Chains A and B, each alone.
Chain A
Amino acid sequence: MTTLDSAFPNTRIAQAEFTGQSGEFFKIWIVNLLLSILTLGIYSAWAKVRTNQYLHGHTKLEDHGFRYLSTPLQILKGRLLAVSVFILITVLSSFTPMLALGMSLLILVATPWLIMQSIRFNMRMTSYRNVRFSFKGNYWETVLNFLLLPMLALFFTLGIALPWVHQRIDKYIFDNLSVGGQPFKLNTDVGQYYVAALVAIAIMMAGIITIVIFAGIYGVMIAQAGEDSAEQLLTGTFMGLIVLLYLGLFILNFVAIAVSRGIVLKHIISTLKVEDVATFKTDMPLSGYIKLQLLNSLILILSLGLAYPVTKIRTRRFVAQHIQVELTEQADTLVNDVQGKDPAFGEEAAGFFDADLSFT
C-alpha cells in the first residue's frame, strides 16, 4: 500500500456500483426466454447477448459502464457447432459401449480446454472504457489446476488439501487475467481458504451435535413417560421432530456454504490488484453477504426458480456496493491490446457440457 502510494502519488478511490433493477431485469429475462422458446432456441443467442449487455452496462466504475462485445451471430455459430458435436456424441455413444467410453474420455480431455476457452471468451468480450480484458491461461496449467490437483487432493489427502487447491484455482484464473496489457495479481493467503472451510465444517458439526442432543432428550422423555403417552409421543411429535431436524440441517447447509463463500470472496477482493493500475478493496460485511445468499435461496425455492434474474441482480448490486477500487493515473491511459472476433465455440460447448464456471 505505502509503496503504491509513493510510486503513484495521484491515486483516487472509486466506488463500484451496479444500477440494474430486479423488476426490470426480470422482464427482460422472461421476454427473452419466451422468444428463445418460440424460435426453438435460435433466439437464445440474442437473449444471451442482450442480458449480458444489460448486466455489463449497469456495472459501473466512475460512471463508465462495462460492455459486452459479443454479437448474436457469433454466439449462434458457436452454439450450433456445439449442439452438432453434442448430438454426434450422444448418437454415437448410444450405439456402441466402447465408443461411449471413448467419448467420455474425449470429454474429460476436452473439459479443461472448454473451461479455458470459456474464461478466455468471456474476458475478451468484456471491455471497460474501450479496453478489453483477456485471459492467457494454457491447456496444461488448466489440466493441472482443474483436473489433476482436485483429484489428487481428493484421493490422496482425503480432501484435506482441497482448500489449497481451491486457492490455486482462483489464483490461476486471476493471475492470468489482464486489461490493456496490465496483468492482474491475486495475493491470496491459503490460510483464509482453510478458515472458510473450517468455519463451514464447524457450523455443520454444531448443527449435528444440537440434533443429537435433542434426540437424546427426546429418548429420555419417551423412556420416562408411561406406556400410553409414550406411544402418542412416538407417532405424532416424532414425525414433526424429524421434519424439523431435516429442515434445520438443510438451512444450516445453506448457511455453511454462504459463510465460506463470503469469507473467500472478501479475501479475493481485498487481495486483488491490476499491476500499476488498480487495487481492489472491500468493506463487505460477512453477515450481509450471508443474509443475501440465504434470502436468494429462499426466494428461488418459493418462486420455483422464476426469481433467478432477481437473485442475480441482488447479488451483483450487493457485491458492487462493497467494492472500492484505488485507481492510478495509468488507468486513464490504458490502450486496448485485444483484437479480432473470437470464435464462441469453446464458451458454448462449455455450456452444453457443464464445464462453464460462474464466478463473480
Chain B
Amino acid sequence: MLQVRGKYQLAESAQFHIAIAKMNEQGFVRIIDAETLTLIVEANTDAFSYSDVIPSLPTELLFHNRCRFIPDLAEWTWPTLQPKSKILAWLETRWTVVLASLILIPAFMWIMTTKVLPAAADAAVPLLPEVVAEKTGQQTLAVMDRTLLQPSQLTTEEQIKVNQLWQQVLKTTNAPLVNTELQFRDSAIGANAMALPDGTVIVTDDIVKLMEKHPDALQAVLLHEIGHVHYQHGMEQLARSTAITMLFALMLGDIEGAGEMIIGAGASLLQSSFSRDMETQADKYAHHMLPKLGLSKQTFAKALTLLAESHGDLLSKGNAKAHHWLEYLDSHPDIKKRISDSSNANTH
C-alpha cells in the first residue's frame, strides 16, 4: 500500500480536503481526510483516470464524478499509471532530445520546403483545371497594370515588327502552346520580359528599344519566356508557395512572436531559390530552341549581356530603378554565370 499526501478537490466546487491517498498495486484507492482520518471515498481503477503527465507537475487522480486528488509531490508516481503515459514527459525532460530537436527541426523544414513540397506541388499542377491558370494570369496582369505597368508607348509599326519575331518563335516551338499571347507595356522596371501563369508574355518598351538593332537577341529572350510557359513555371510557383504557406500555417500555428518571423523569413528565402531553378530551366530551353530558329546559341548570351549593360547603366547612375535590379539579382541566377553557361552551350 503506497500513500501520498495531497488535496482532495470536490466536484465543481472550490471546497477541498487536505487528504491522504492510499493505493494498492491493483489501483484500489482510498482517500482519507488528513485531519479527521475519516474515509472520504474509496474507488477502483474504473472510477478514475490520470491527468496528463507534465514535467514537474503532480499527476492527478481525476474521478469520473469530477472530484480530483492532487498529490503534494510532483515526482509522485501512481502504481497503476501506464509507463506509456510518461513517454512525452520523458522526452520533454532530456537535453539529448532538445539537441536532436535543434538539428532535426531545421533539417526537416529544409527537406520539406526544398524537396517534398515542390515535388508534390509540381505534381499537382497538371491536375489543376485550365481555368485556374487563366484566372490567375488575368488577375496577376490586372494587379501589375495597376502597380508596375503602364500602357505601351511603342508605335504600331514597332509592335508589328516585334509581333512578327514572336510569330517566328512560336512556329519553332514543337508543342502547340494554348493561349500564348504577347503583350506590350511600358514600365519603370526597365528592360524586362515576363511570363504569366496563363501563357501571356509581356515585353517592356525598354527591352524592345534596347534590342531594336538585335532582333535575334529579342527572340532569345522570347524563347526564354516561352520556356517558362512550356514548363508551366507560373503555376508551379503558385502551387509551391500555396503549399508552403499552408504547411507553415499548420505546423507553426502555435509558434508566437519572433520564432514565427524567423521561420517565415526562411520560407521566403527558399522561394527565391525555387525561382532561380526555374530561370535556369528556362535558359536551357532557350539554348535548346535557338538552333531551330536558325540562330546561334550564343544569341542568348548576347541578350543577357545587353540586359546586364542596360541595367548596369541604371545601377551606376544611382537611379531609383536600380532597386529593381537588386531584386532581379535575387530571383535570377548570377548573370555572369548565365552568360558563360550560354556561351559554353554553343561549344558543345
Contact = CB atoms under 8 A, between A and B. Distances in A.
A335 B108 contact: no
Contacts, number: 155
Contact of B253 (A79, A300, A308): A79
A44 B251 contact: yes
Nearest to B7: A64
Nearest to B258: A305
B142 interface: yes
User: Residue among B10, B55, B261 with the most chain A CB within 10 A?
Assistant: B55
A1 interface: no
A83 B16 contact: no
Interface string B1-38: 00000010111111110000000000000000000000
A37 interface: yes
Given A57-B57, A300-B257, A334 B13 contact: yes
Given A64-B7, A94-B139, A33 B101 contact: yes
Contacts of B143: 97
A50 B52 contact: yes
Contacts of B70: 65
B54 A352 contact: no
A150 B83 CA distance: 53
B139 A305 contact: no
A27 B101 CA distance: 10
B118 to A, nearest CB: 16
B257 A308 contact: yes
A38 interface: yes
B130 interface: no
B168 interface: no
Contacts of B238: 94
A95 interface: yes
A41 B12 contact: no
Interface string A19-57: 111001011101111101110110010011111011001
Interface in A45-91: 47-51, 53-54, 57-58, 64-65, 79, 83, 86-87, 90-91
Contacts of A51: 254
Contacts of A86: 249
Given A44-B250, A47-B254, A334 B54 contact: no
A352 B249 contact: yes
Query: Main SS of chain A's interface residues?
Result: helix
A40 B9 CA distance: 38
Contact of B98 (A27, A301, A334): A27
Contacts of B66: 130
Contact of A28 (B12, B92, B105): B92
Interface in B55-77: 55-57, 66, 68, 70
A90 B244 CA distance: 13
A305 B93 contact: no
Nearest to A331: B14
B259 interface: yes
A336 interface: yes
Given A95-B135, A332-B14, A90 B258 contact: no
Nearest to A352: B249
B156 to A, nearest CB: 30
A131 B52 contact: no
Interface of A: 19-21, 24, 26-28, 30-34, 36-38, 40-41, 44, 47-51, 53-54, 57-58, 64-65, 79, 83, 86-87, 90-91, 94-97, 128-131, 180, 300-301, 304-306, 308, 331-336, 348, 351-352, 358
26 contacts: A24-B56, A24-B93, A31-B97, A32-B254, A34-B105, A36-B252, A40-B247, A40-B251, A41-B252, A48-B253, A49-B52, A50-B54, A54-B55, A83-B246, A83-B250, A128-B14, A129-B14, A129-B16, A130-B9, A130-B10, A130-B14, A180-B14, A308-B256, A308-B257, A334-B13, A335-B13
Interface of B: 7, 9-16, 52, 54-57, 66, 68, 70, 88, 91-95, 97-98, 100-102, 104-105, 108-109, 132, 135-136, 139, 142-143, 238, 242, 245-247, 249-259, 261-262
